[in-house]
């Protein structure tokens, strides 16, 4: 242990740099704008009551409000009625910074909708990828047919192509079909995962032939074999692929940025955050960091809960 | 029961020569094949063809302009900056993130179970949405209220001022980082390394666990006494295939850098275009400015680089003896 102290020192220094932006992101999401500006308050901030200036501006008591409130403040002149009304709005508009930041994150932009979009898009991508890749992987691994080697060669070639690199022609194609700014545009280019085919094929190669022959004897069609015999054996590999796919697409920013322009209903979480940054002024650091925290948290928590599986899934590409 | 039946089944099915597997095989492969052609191959051909035209979305037709787009790529100063920024990024990020990944893996591996906590921490940036983290870094690097410059300012008035960087910073203010054209691309490189080295570390760790213990004993028998010697004799050669793979995948990822650049400078790719990388150029020219021809030409060059790299990797791996 004492011999290893320098290793710990180096690794701890590295850990501080790695964690610094996470620390700052979460800390800012707790603090009031003033504390952020002055750089005080430690990690949680002092959590003093603060007044939301926009809320005050929106609820400025007008002539009509004063008239309406006159019955409540009997025998007072207009100025004092207005003053008491102002005090009321201030009381209603004041809150703890952490509440302010997180409530703003969800009310300034439809963050829940963005998160649901993210879930819908990542899950549909994964489902379609599996439905397309599993039968193909099975055929390439276990069926002898003319042209199989050519198809597998094509799979190996396509592994070379990063989909992001051909974004421009894909975008032109989708634009010609009138599909930009639709859910389809977010999903379609990812429906084929050559990597998924390759991975599942390698896995299926290890499944004993006897199992398949037995299923054939039972009169199963090849497609039924894929879902009833091969799929259950492939659950661990498929889970790893799921993690790989979901992480990549939840975090993807480039593709949604290209095919979704303006239509907020289709925004994925990273796009929502980007828009927040675009129109935020200085006082919105807190809510913005709250949004960022909300977006980053699901995957981080899942990762911390199932570390081994996640590391396997993400480094799957190392098996090539 | 399955086992009993299957031995019989194997005998029964062997001699049959019907073409059921053939038809079924094509049937099962067909959807994947169609999508591969439609989504991966045709777009490459389309980009190749369009790179010789002046096509724009919305125009009815286009003119063939030969190699003009490519000529522009190699003569205009904007694109020179694009190549410089891209290669600076790749050449900086790949060796450093691979080196740090290897170093971290060796340290973590030698610590045993306690090392796992560092593994978890270093892997966090790989999982986190890069765009969100880019924005967090942007705040960290804010010239006046950012954590980085605040920390640096704490060094003012101490012996740190002996270092010219601190002396200058305390006198005239610390760098603007993202707004300074001398620093911008390096900051982007730093974030690329920050995000990527944990991934490389995990790949190296997987490689390290597969190195046989006996090899180290054998090396010791042969007189490799220091840890350093053992590293060069055993660990490094055993990690060969892993290293080739890690370098290639880091290169491909580095070529695709986009999120950080777009988050920091939505217009123009950095101060004086110092961080105008290829993916950003494709996005700006091809999609925002609707100059499809030039965008396609950049796409083709990009594909060429990436495919070339992967082919080198495959060649290296196949040539390599297995230890």
Evaluate if residue B180 carries a pLDDT over 50: yes
Q: Is the ipTM above a cut-off of 0.90?
A: no
- The predicted structure's pLDDT at residue A59: 73
How many domains is chain A built from?
2
- The predicted structure's pLDDT at residue B297: 94
Q: What is the pLDDT of residues B43-68, one digit of tens each?
A: 999 999 999 988 888 877 888 888 88
Evaluate if residue B13 carries a pLDDT over 50: no
Domain of A180, CATH number, reads: 1.10.3720.10
**Final residue before a domain boundary, out of A108, A124, A139:** A108
Residue numbers in A near B295 (CB within 8 A): 168
Q: What is the pLDDT of residues A174-206, one digit of tens each?
A: 998 988 888 999 999 999 989 889 888 888 888
- The predicted structure's pLDDT at residue B98: 94
Q: Which residue has the higher pLDDT, B71 or A315?
A: B71
- My answer on whether A173 and A65 are in the same domain is no
Distance CA B278, CA B258 (A): 8
**Exposure string (b/e) for A100-125, b if CB count within 10 Å is 16 or more?**
bbbebbeebbebeebbebbeebbebb
Q: Are strands A50-51 and A94-95 parallel, antiparallel or unpaired?
A: antiparallel
- My answer on whether A227 and A145 are in the same domain is yes
Distance CA A31, CA A42 (A): 9
What number of C-beta contacts closer than 8 Å exist between A and B?
289
- My answer on whether A99 and A141 are in the same domain is no
Q: Where residue B3 falls among pLDDT bands split at 50, 70, 90? A: very low
Q: Where residue B95 falls among pLDDT bands split at 50, 70, 90? A: very high
The stretch B96-101 carries a mean pLDDT of 94
- Token pair for B133: 């983290």
Q: Which residue has the higher pLDDT, A16 or B164?
A: A16
A149: in domain: yes
Taking chain A (320 residues) in consecutive chunks of 10 residues, what is each chunk's mean pLDDT? Answer: 81 92 91 80 78 75 75 76 80 83 86 93 94 91 86 88 90 90 91 89 87 86 86 87 89 92 87 78 77 92 88 65
Beta carbons of A184 and A173 less than 8 angstroms apart: no
Evaluate if residue B123 carries a pLDDT over 70: yes
- My answer on whether A148 and A228 are in the same domain is yes
Evaluate if residue B121 carries a pLDDT over 70: yes
Beta carbons of A30 and A104 less than 8 angstroms apart: no
- In this structure, the dihedral spanned by the alpha carbons of residues A59, A62, A68 and A74, taken in order and rounded to 10 degrees, is 100
- The predicted structure's pLDDT at residue A317: 56
- My answer on whether A96 and A142 are in the same domain is no
Domain enclosing residue A188, as ranges: 111-276
Can you tell me whether residue A50 is helix, strand or coil? strand
How buried is A315 (Cβ within 10 angstroms: 0-12 exposed, 13-18 middle, 19+ buried)?
buried
A293: in domain: no
Q: Determine the residue among B15, B34, B53, B131 to mutate to test chain A binding: the one whose Cβ has the most chain A Cβ atoms within 10 Å.
A: B131
The B residues from 24 to 43 touching A (CB cutoff 8 Å) are 24-29, 31-33, 35-36, 39-43
- My answer on whether A129 and A266 are in the same domain is yes
Distance CA A110, CA A106 (A): 6
Beta carbons of A241 and A73 less than 8 angstroms apart: no
Residue numbers in B near A296 (CB within 8 A): 128-129, 132-133
Minimal Cα–Cα distance from B21 to chain A, Å? 6
User: Is this prediction's pTM over 0.90?
Assistant: no
| Chain B nearest-CA residue for A316 | B203
A292: in domain: no
- My answer on whether A63 and A180 are in the same domain is no
A228: in domain: yes
Residue A200 in contact with partner chain B when CB distance is under 8 A: no
- Mean pLDDT, chain B, whole residue set: 84
Q: Determine the residue among B127, B291, B311 to mutate to test chain A binding: the one whose Cβ has the most chain A Cβ atoms within 10 Å.
A: B127
Minimal Cα–Cα distance from A61 to chain B, Å? 35
Residue numbers in A near B42 (CB within 8 A): 169, 173
A175: in domain: yes
| Chain B nearest-CA residue for A35 | B145
Evaluate if residue B300 carries a pLDDT over 60: yes
- My answer on whether A266 and A164 are in the same domain is yes
Report the sign of the C-alpha dihedral through residues A20, A24, A25, A26, in that order.
Answer: positive
Distance CA B186, CA B89 (A): 8
| Chain B nearest-CA residue for A171 | B287
**Final residue before a domain boundary, out of A108, A123, A153:** A108
A73: in domain: yes
Percentage above 70 pLDDT, chain B: 92
Q: Within 13 Å of residue A311, how many CA atoms lie on the same side as its CB?
A: 21
- Token pair for A201: 């094929």
Distance CA A38, CA A54 (A): 21
- In this structure, the dihedral spanned by the alpha carbons of residues B313, B316, B319 and B322, taken in order and rounded to 10 degrees, is -90
- The predicted structure's pLDDT at residue A113: 92
Pick from B28, B118, B140: CB nearest A11: B118
**Interaxial angle between packed helices A167-176 and B42-50, expressed in degrees from 0 to 180 and rounded to the nearest 10:** 90
- My answer on whether A81 and A170 are in the same domain is no
Tell me which of A115-119, A304-308, B7-11, B123-127 is least confident: B7-11
Q: Where residue B20 falls among pLDDT bands split at 50, 70, 90? A: low
Evaluate if residue B323 carries a pLDDT over 50: no
- My answer on whether A224 and A260 are in the same domain is yes
Q: Where residue B321 falls among pLDDT bands split at 50, 70, 90? A: very low
Tell me: domain B70-321, CATH 1.10.3720.10, correct? yes
- My answer on whether A88 and A177 are in the same domain is no
Contact between B107 and A214 using a beta-carbon 8 Å cutoff: no
The stretch B285-290 carries a mean pLDDT of 90
First-to-final CA distance of chain A:
37
Contact between A189 and B128 using a beta-carbon 8 Å cutoff: no
- The predicted structure's pLDDT at residue A281: 56
- My answer on whether A162 and A215 are in the same domain is yes
| Chain B nearest-CA residue for A244 | B127
Residue A311 in contact with partner chain B when CB distance is under 8 A: yes
């Amino acid at each position: 242990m004492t011999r290893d102290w320098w290793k710990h020192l180096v690794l701890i220094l590295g850990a501080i740099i790695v964690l610094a932006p996470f620390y700052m992101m979460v800390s800012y999401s707790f603090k009031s704008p003033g504390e952020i500006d002055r750089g005080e308050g430690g990690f949680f901030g002092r959590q003093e009551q603060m007044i939301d200036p926009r809320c005050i501006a929106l609820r400025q008591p007008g002539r009509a409000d004063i008239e309406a409130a006159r019955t409540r403040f009997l025998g007072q002149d207009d100025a004092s009625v207005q003053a008491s009304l102002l005090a009321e709005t201030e009381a209603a508009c004041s809150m703890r910074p952490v509440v302010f930041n997180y409530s703003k994150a969800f009310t300034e932009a439809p963050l829940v909708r963005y998160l649901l979009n993210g879930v819908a898009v990542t899950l549909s991508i994964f489902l379609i990828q599996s439905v397309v890749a599993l039968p193909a992987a099975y055929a390439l691994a276990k069926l002898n047919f003319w042209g199989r080697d050519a198809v597998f060669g094509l799979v190996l070639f396509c592994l070379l192509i990063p989909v992001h690199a051909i974004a421009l022609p894909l975008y032109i194609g989708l634009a010609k079909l009138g599909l930009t700014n639709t859910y389809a545009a977010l999903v379609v280019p990812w429906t084929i995962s050559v990597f998924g085919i390759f991975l599942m094929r390698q896995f299926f190669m290890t499944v004993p032939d006897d199992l398949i022959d037995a299923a054939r004897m039972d009169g199963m069609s090849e497609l039924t074999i894929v879902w009833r015999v091969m799929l259950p054996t492939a659950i661990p590999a498929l889970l790893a692929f799921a993690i790989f796919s979901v992480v990549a697409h939840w975090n993807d920013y480039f593709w949604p940025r290209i095919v979704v322009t303006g239509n907020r209903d289709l925004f994925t979480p990273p796009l929502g955050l980007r828009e927040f940054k675009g129109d935020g002024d200085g006082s919105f650091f807190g809510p913005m960091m709250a949004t960022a925290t909300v977006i980053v948290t699901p995957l981080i928590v899942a990762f911390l809960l199932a570390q081994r599986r996640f590391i396997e899934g993400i480094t799957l590409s190392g098996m090539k | 029961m399955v086992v009993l039946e299957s031995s019989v089944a194997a005998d029964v099915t062997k001699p049959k020569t019907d073409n059921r597997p053939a038809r079924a095989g094509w049937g099962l492969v067909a959807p994947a094949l169609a999508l591969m052609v439609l989504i991966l191959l045709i777009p490459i051909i389309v980009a190749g063809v369009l790179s010789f035209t002046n096509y724009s979305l919305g125009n009815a037709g286009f003119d063939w302009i030969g190699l003009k787009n490519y000529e522009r790529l190699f003569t205009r100063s904007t694109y020179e900056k694009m190549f410089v920024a891209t290669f600076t990024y790749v050449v900086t990020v790949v060796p450093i993130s691979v080196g740090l990944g290897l170093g971290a893996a060796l340290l973590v591996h030698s610590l045993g179970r306690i090392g796992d906590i560092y593994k978890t921490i270093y892997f966090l940036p790989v999982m986190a949405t890069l765009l969100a983290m880019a924005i967090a870094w942007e705040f960290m690097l804010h010239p006046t209220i950012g954590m980085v410059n605040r920390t640096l300012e704490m060094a003012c008035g101490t012996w740190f001022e002996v270092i010219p960087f601190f002396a200058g910073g305390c006198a005239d203010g610390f760098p603007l980082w993202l707004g300074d054209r001398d620093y911008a691309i390096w900051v982007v490189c730093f974030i690329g390394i920050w995000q990527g080295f944990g991934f490389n570390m995990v790949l190296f760790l997987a490689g390290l666990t597969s190195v046989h213990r006996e090899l180290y004993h054998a090396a010791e028998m042969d007189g490799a006494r220091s840890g350093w010697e053992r590293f060069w004799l055993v660990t490094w050669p055993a990690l060969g295939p892993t290293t080739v793979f890690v370098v290639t995948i880091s290169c491909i990822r580095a070529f695709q850098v986009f999120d950080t650049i777009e988050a920091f400078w939505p217009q123009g790719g950095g101060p004086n275009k110092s961080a105008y990388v290829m993916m950003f150029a494709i996005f700006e020219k091809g999609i925002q400015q609707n100059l499809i021809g030039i965008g396609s030409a950049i796409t083709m060059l990009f594909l060429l680089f990436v495919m070339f790299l992967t082919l080198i990797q495959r060649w290296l791996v196949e040539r390599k003896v297995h230890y």
